[in-house]
Amino acid sequence: MKKKLLNTMVAGLMAASHVGWAAPGDEIVSTAMDQHSVAVTIYNDNLALVKDARRIRLARDINRLAWREVSAQMRPETAQLRNLSSPAGFRLLEQNFDFDPLTPQKLLEKHAGREVSVIRTHPTTGAESRETATVLATNDGVVLKFSDRIETGVPGRLAFPGVPDTLRDKPTLVVSLANPSAGMQNLELSYLTGGLSWRADYVAELNANDDRLDLNGWVTLTNQSGAAYPDAKLQLVAGDLNRVRDAQPLPRAAMAMAAKEADAPEMQQESLFEYHLYTLQRPTTLAENQTKQVALMSATRIPVKKEFLLEGANYYYSGQYGELGQKMKVGVFVEFDNKGEGLGIPLPRGVIRMYKQDSQGNAQFVGEDRIDHTPKNESVRLKLGDAFDLTADRKQTAFQKLAGTSRYNYVFESAYEIVLKNAKPEAVVVTVREPMPGDWTVVRESQPHTKAASGTAEWQVKVPAEGSATLSYRVRVMY
């Protein structure tokens, strides 16, 4: 039934506009053919600024301009139209953003309460007959009122007298304006829109000794705005902008996304207010419903530090627990500084995916982590996973309360033993990091610790190849 109704409405739509969609007669229609430049600045949070410059012939005094092929997710309250040729006396009077798509269903809905022609074809003779009916309702089907009856469903094809002005085959900004002089004018429309986004993706490869890596950064662009931006000047802003959120944003249709990868030169970056601006050094086309990648940065042989880390918790310093964990995982981290040749630029927030070649020279994926916006000369620290061949057994060997009658003057003393096991064919160093609550003092330990922070103690424990090492310590904690 739905398929039959759709086919019928399609036929009616074709009958109503057999020469194609046409704008109202009093409109000046501007299409992408008038466009001589477009610039797109994309921000992190699904937001973009579009500047669309066109050359359009306007009449003197009042004009009604239909600016077609704008983003379907335009925020019309942000639209600003400027006359770059003759700004004096150029005034905007009214604007409407028409984003209702011209579809058979929409055409039928807009004719509710209006008359349409019902066309029937005789099954034997093929002769056509016409009858006028009024559209009463279009919910879950169609209800038609004829002169002598009411019918549900569509008994034939529907022909419509015309297309309502608010239905457009493409999103259109309709602007009423006053123009001081007739002739060709250079106009620029700028607006904010959703549906355009970008993110940074990084690919890194470790060397055989895990002490150097090569890093390539890519910007992944996604256009789901409902419009295309050919040969656009592209700029990206990295940073966290404050935005006023609408309580009930306008609904927009979801659009599919197709993937495409494109070669591009690296981006040039500069400071912009308290953010960073990246500019692509050549125009690029952002096609509708497309994802593409452009190069951001590239660096080779970056010094890197690898760390095995076992991290504890502060809760077991104020109670009696005994066993605290068997075969505990030891995390694997790598760290490098954002400086040196190819680096030393602000790195936008994104995911770094790490690879390493196996014995046959094939690159294998070894982990990934997300970084935040990272200024130059700052360190980048990534957790790649947990070591397969390193485990730890942790237990509390003693606990006693030395003093205190309330939670504000307790003094506890407790002892711990951590056995680190290494199944690798080479010795490793494991960092044991223990968060300490309150005022704490290490009263006895099997090897010296360092005070990494006011509430953190660290030990660097060397574990022999295919062997184990034991760290023991006693701590006094005052609350």
405 and 473 part of one domain: yes
Q: Examine the pLDDT at 230 and tell me if it is beyond 90.
A: yes
Residue 332: which residues within 8 A CB-CB, separation 6 or more? Answer: 306, 307, 308, 309, 367, 383, 384, 385, 386, 387
Query: Is 346 inside a domain boundary?
Result: no
Say how many C-beta atoms besides its own lie within 10 A of residue 129's C-beta: 10
Token pair, residue 207, equals 């060397």
Domain closes at, from 283, 302, 321:
302
pLDDT reported for residue 301: 95
Signed CA dihedral, 261, 267, 272, 275: sign only: positive
186 and 236 part of one domain: no
Query: Is 469 inside a domain boundary?
Result: yes
56 and 174 part of one domain: yes
Query: Is 145 inside a domain boundary?
Result: no
Sorting pLDDT into bands at 50, 70 and 90, what band is 345?
Answer: confident
pLDDT reported for residue 138: 86
Interstrand relation of 61-68 and 47-58 (parallel, antiparallel or unpaired): unpaired
**Span 280-285, mean pLDDT?**
89
- 285 DSSP assignment: E
Q: Examine the pLDDT at 231 and tell me if it is beyond 50.
A: yes
Regarding predicted confidence, which is higher, 479 or 326? 326
204 and 324 part of one domain: no
230 and 321 part of one domain: no
Question: CA–CA separation, 293 vs 218, rounded Å?
Answer: 6
Please give the share of the chain, as a percent, with pLDDT higher than 90. 61
Token pair, residue 177, equals 């304006």
Report how many domains make up the chain. 3
Signed CA dihedral, 258, 259, 264, 269: sign only: positive
Give the model confidence (pLDDT) of 353-373 as tens digits: 999 999 999 999 999 999 999
pLDDT reported for residue 100: 64
For the domain that residue 410 is a member of, what is the CATH number?
2.60.40
253 and 180 part of one domain: no
Token pair, residue 462, equals 């060397």
427 and 327 part of one domain: yes
Q: Is 104 helix (H, G, I), strand (E, B) or coil?
A: helix
401 and 331 part of one domain: yes
Query: Is 153 inside a domain boundary?
Result: no
Give the model confidence (pLDDT) of 88-109 as tens digits: 999 999 998 886 666 777 778 8
Query: Is 463 inside a domain boundary?
Result: yes
Say how many C-beta atoms besides its own lie within 10 A of residue 352's C-beta: 22
265 and 404 part of one domain: no
Say how many C-beta atoms besides its own lie within 10 A of residue 1's C-beta: 8
Query: Is 447 inside a domain boundary?
Result: yes
Question: CA–CA separation, 58 vs 181, rounded Å?
Answer: 8
Question: CA–CA separation, 452 vs 467, rounded Å?
Answer: 27
Q: Examine the pLDDT at 241 and tell me if it is beyond 90.
A: no
Give the model confidence (pLDDT) of 144-175 as tens digits: 999 989 988 877 888 888 777 666 778 899 99
Signed CA dihedral, 230, 233, 239, 240: sign only: negative
Query: Is 90 inside a domain boundary?
Result: yes
Signed CA dihedral, 162, 166, 168, 172: sign only: positive
Question: CA–CA separation, 324 vs 393, rounded Å?
Answer: 8
**Span 461-475, mean pLDDT?**
97
**Span 417-432, mean pLDDT?**
97
Question: CA–CA separation, 343 vs 105, rounded Å?
Answer: 55
Token pair, residue 305, equals 């530090």
247 and 310 part of one domain: no
Domain closes at, from 251, 282, 302:
302
Q: Examine the pLDDT at 215 and tell me if it is beyond 80.
A: yes
Q: Are 191 and 89 in contact (CB under 8 A)?
A: no
pLDDT reported for residue 35: 95
Which string of DSSP letters, residue by residue, matches 170-186? S-EEEEEEEESS-EEEE
Please provide the average confidence, as pLDDT, over all residues in the chain. 86
pLDDT reported for residue 15: 39
Integer CA distances (angstroms), 422 to 117, 330, 358, in order: 84, 10, 21
Nearest residue to 188 (alpha-carbon basis) of 295, 35, 63, 66:
35
pLDDT reported for residue 125: 87
pLDDT reported for residue 14: 38
287 and 317 part of one domain: no
pLDDT reported for residue 246: 58
Which string of DSSP letters, residue by residue, matches 364-404? EEEEEEEE--B-TT-EEEEEEEEEEEEEEEEEEEEEEEEE-
403 and 255 part of one domain: no
Phi, psi of 94 (to 5 degrees): -165, 150
Biggest CA pair distance of the chain: 107
Q: Are 276 and 196 in contact (CB under 8 A)?
A: no
Question: CA–CA separation, 215 vs 351, rounded Å?
Answer: 12
Token pair, residue 438, equals 């309150």
Q: Examine the pLDDT at 252 and tell me if it is beyond 50.
A: no
Q: Are 296 and 267 in contact (CB under 8 A)?
A: yes
Query: Is 146 inside a domain boundary?
Result: no
Domain closes at, from 253, 286, 302:
302
Which string of DSSP letters, residue by residue, matches 114-126? SEEEEEEE-TTT-
Question: CA–CA separation, 306 vs 295, rounded Å?
Answer: 27
Q: Are 236 and 267 in contact (CB under 8 A)?
A: yes
Residue with tokens 């990084």: 202
Please state the pTM of the whole predicted model: 0.71
320: domain range? Answer: 305-338+378-478
Residue 186: which residues within 8 A CB-CB, separation 6 or more? Answer: 53, 54, 55, 83, 84, 85
Question: CA–CA separation, 322 vs 319, rounded Å?
Answer: 10
